[in-house]
Amino acid sequence: MTTSYRTCPDVGAWRAWLDHEDRPADLGEHLQTCPGCQHVLADLRQSAAEVHDTLSLLDPTRSPSSGDIALARERFYSRRRQAVVGAAGSAAATPIRRMARLSTRWRVGASGLAAGIALALIVAFTPQGGAAAASFLAQFRSQQVAPVEITPQTQGQIIQTMNALGNLGTITSPGQTGPTTRPGAALRGAAEQVRTVTLAEASQAVGFAMQTPDPAALPAGFDKAPEVRVMPGSQVRFTFDKARAQSYFQSTGHADVNVPDKYDGATLVVSIPTAAVLEYRNTVSKDAVIVGQAGELVVDVEGGKVTLPEMRDFLLSLPGLPTGVVNQLKQIQNWNETLPIPVPVDQVHWQTTTIHGNEGLLLNDNSGAGSAAIWHAGGHLYGVAGSVKANDLKRVADGMAVH
């Protein structure tokens, strides 16, 4: 083809040429014979290179890994559910607006803590607890808390492994119309039944007298009257299905995982207590201090053939669980009464603390802008979290009492 351009191509055509986006042959032929266009192209090339180098200063230092993405996706679902629940409790609020106001740093921490509950389903079973009874072979009752350090990567692995549980058997929950494939779905009913109540109603719902902070211990500017919400307890039952589990393992390249016959039909029963949350707001700054209280998380094994330690060993051996986390879980003493709280150590600092004579955890995000305390006392689980410094939050926790 001969050069067909009566006038030179415009700068856009040459820019596309430079990027190999559009390279018609006649354009190349024109370039061979047109010094003006050669000059334009050279200038475009230099400009593009210079701009590219300059804009590279804005590039992320690292791209999200597949683990980061998996974690982000799980956070998305978790957060959206929270938004839906929140919206249900406040007709004026919209899920989108709520989402936009959340702090990622806190959400990371919260997500880690939330994952702890899922983790607890596994951790409840530790090898040290050898003795087992007959039908209720052993039992886990949360009586204290312990930190388990995790990273975004290990957290993602844990979540993915937990999600895979549905492939190993059947998960059911009372009130649910049928089996599901994921533990989260089994908890859906309870999560969506959050309701606003009075303090007395909350005490009745959780089964013990609710404690409240000393109003004088609340940071300045916070309303002294909290909004009280209750989420009813629920129960999740997970029944192993050997054939299904082995099929799943084979399909995922883990054919070497052996599921002993006695696990077939064994049922893991997780009883989640009713929880109540008091929310104290600062209407000006939008800060909040949240106080939560619940009974014990109880885990049983039914089925008569498998002991709780055996079940725990099997769960901890599931492909995909990060070794470092598994080792931390195995080292927990008093396994059958310790609720592990995963702490995303890249985001959150932790330290042990004593609250009302009970050992607990004090967590604060690395910026110092938010903190949380978690402890067990008298068979109840307590937590305080807020966008306040750890010392201020500890004061709120220490002031908790039945008023």
User: Between residue 254 and residue 283, which ones bind another protein under the rule CB under 8 A?
Assistant: 272, 275, 277, 279, 281
Q: What is d(CA 376, CA 221) in angstroms, rounded to the nearest whole number?
A: 29
Q: What is the smallest separation between the CB atom of 261 and another protein, expressed in angstroms?
A: 28
The two structure tokens encoding residue 13: 């055509």
- 385 is a contact residue toward another protein (CB under 8 A): yes
Q: Give, in order, the Cα–Cα distances in Å from 219 to each of 58, 63, 82, 280.
A: 39, 39, 26, 10
Q: Amino acid identity, residue 60?
A: P
Kindly determine how many residues on this chain lie close enough to bind another protein according to the rule CB under 8 A.
112
**SS3 state of residue 171:** strand
Contact with another protein (CB under 8 A): which of 122, 290, 311, 362? 290
Q: Which is nearer to another protein, 132 or 346 (CB)?
A: 346
Site string for another protein, 208-227 (x = CB under 8 A): --------------------
Contact with another protein (CB under 8 A): which of 288, 308, 329, 332? 288
Q: What is d(CA 365, CA 348) in angstroms, rounded to the nearest whole number?
A: 4
Instruction: Mark the segment that binds another protein (CB under 8 A) among 83-91, 242-250, 256-264, 298-306.
Output: 83-91
Burial class, 232, CB count within 10 angstroms (exposed 0-12 / middle 13-18 / buried 19+)? middle
Q: Which is nearer to another protein, 6 or 101 (CB)?
A: 101
- 42 is a contact residue toward another protein (CB under 8 A): no
Q: What is d(CA 88, CA 333) in angstroms, rounded to the nearest whole number?
A: 41
Q: Which is nearer to another protein, 89 or 215 (CB)?
A: 89
Looking up tokens 């006649």, which residue turns up? Answer: 26
Contact with another protein (CB under 8 A): which of 163, 167, 170, 358? 163
- Which 295-314 positions form the footprint of another protein (CB under 8 A)? 297
Contact with another protein (CB under 8 A): which of 42, 51, 131, 401? 51
Instruction: Mark the segment that binds another protein (CB under 8 A) among 30-38, 290-298, 301-309, 310-318.
Output: 290-298
Q: What is d(CA 344, CA 334) in angstroms, rounded to the nearest whole number?
A: 23
Phi, psi of 208 (to 5 degrees): -155, 165
Contact with another protein (CB under 8 A): which of 8, 99, 209, 257? 99
Q: What is the smallest separation between the CB atom of 195 and another protein, expressed in angstroms?
A: 12
Q: What is d(CA 293, CA 212) in angstroms, rounded to the nearest whole number?
A: 10
Q: Which is nearer to another protein, 117 or 332 (CB)?
A: 117
The two structure tokens encoding residue 357: 């004579």
Q: Which is nearer to another protein, 46 or 258 (CB)?
A: 46
Who contacts 28 (Cβ-Cβ below 8 Å, separation ≥6)?
Answer: none
Who contacts 85 (Cβ-Cβ below 8 Å, separation ≥6)?
Answer: 191, 192, 194
- 344 is a contact residue toward another protein (CB under 8 A): no
- 105 is a contact residue toward another protein (CB under 8 A): yes
> Are 344 and 148 a contacting pair, CB within 8 Å?
no
- Which 181-210 positions form the footprint of another protein (CB under 8 A)? 181-185, 187-188, 190-192
> Which contiguous run of DSSP H or E holds residue 149?
strand 144-150
Contact with another protein (CB under 8 A): which of 294, 326, 343, 362? 294
> Are 335 and 141 a contacting pair, CB within 8 Å?
no
Report which DSSP code applies to 212. B
Q: What is the smallest separation between the CB atom of 133 and another protein, expressed in angstroms?
A: 25
Instruction: Mark the segment that binds another protein (CB under 8 A) among 44-52, 212-220, 256-264, 312-320.
Output: 44-52
Site string for another protein, 130-159 (x = CB under 8 A): -----------------------------x
Q: Which is nearer to another protein, 281 or 305 (CB)?
A: 281
Paired with 229 in beta bridges are 196, 277
